[in-house]
Structure 1
């Protein structure tokens, strides 16, 4: 199995990067949709609800799963990760935090759907900075390998 992972490494890495880009696009956009949703003056436009639902279910969830599966394939490829270094642990913590944020967004989507949202547009704007900070940590950990 490890030989197969080593042979397929460039393909796994390429598809992993594509999945990460898709996941991050959704993670950046969904909180922005929540801002528009919560700041609607004339009631909630059903288009926001549809956009939020489709973004989460059709793009973000599958992209997160593919990111995780291919990321684990990369982790188990011999010679790729030196667990004696700091960077893989920092990246792992960042990815776990990004996954938590994804699930936090899914919970907020459910709150909107059930009419229980209590957060303001300002709060969603502030939370929209979380994935940017996590992205910086993850990318620096992988590229700089500190």
Structure 2
């Protein structure tokens, strides 16, 4: 079980690294007017989104293995796990939203400012903070 947990943490950290950086690329894309630089940034964003998506799968699957296979967080007194699972759903939704935004940039249809992306970039930080507190403190 400890190997599964260790790998789960590594893949979560890697997935979040991508989720932290991808919107930063969007900040630059929203400010950039040079087509050559835009093309370079779009290439970076595509590769990062693809790689981040690949990292998300083992992170989620290993988490499910811990939850269903080992029963971590199951049973009475584990309300923290229900809250954590909700946060996981929100992280997956955030990841999906990043993909939708990438497609809009690719199609030249972005209408949001760099300021929006600067704020959007803070969401995974808050979600990760909540998840870590739920898992470590188990407040309910």
TM-score by length of 2: 0.93
Q: Which residue of 1 aligns with 2:56?
A: 64
Q: Which residue of 2 aligns with 1:108?
A: 101
| 1:28 has 2:39 as partner | no
Runs of 4+ in 1 over 6 A off after TM superposition: none
- Contact 2:67–2:74 (CA under 8 A) maintained in structure 1: no
What aligned pairs does 1:58-137 form with structure 2 within 5 A after superposition? 59-84=51-76, 85-137=78-130
- Contact 1:83–1:89 (CA under 8 A) maintained in structure 2: no
How many Å apart are 1:14 and its aligned residue? 1.0
TM-score by length of 1: 0.89
* Aligned alpha-carbon RMSD (Å): 1.2
How many Å apart are 1:44 and its aligned residue? 5.2
Residues 79 and 68 (structure 1 numbering): CA distance in 2 closer, same or farther, change over 3 Å?
closer
Question: C-alpha deviations, 1:43-84, integer Å up to 9, x for none?
Answer: 351210110000011x21011111111000000133422342
Structure 2 portions without partners, runs of 5+: none
1: CA distance between counterparts of 2:84 and 2:55?
A: 18
2: CA distance between counterparts of 1:144 and 1:29?
A: 27
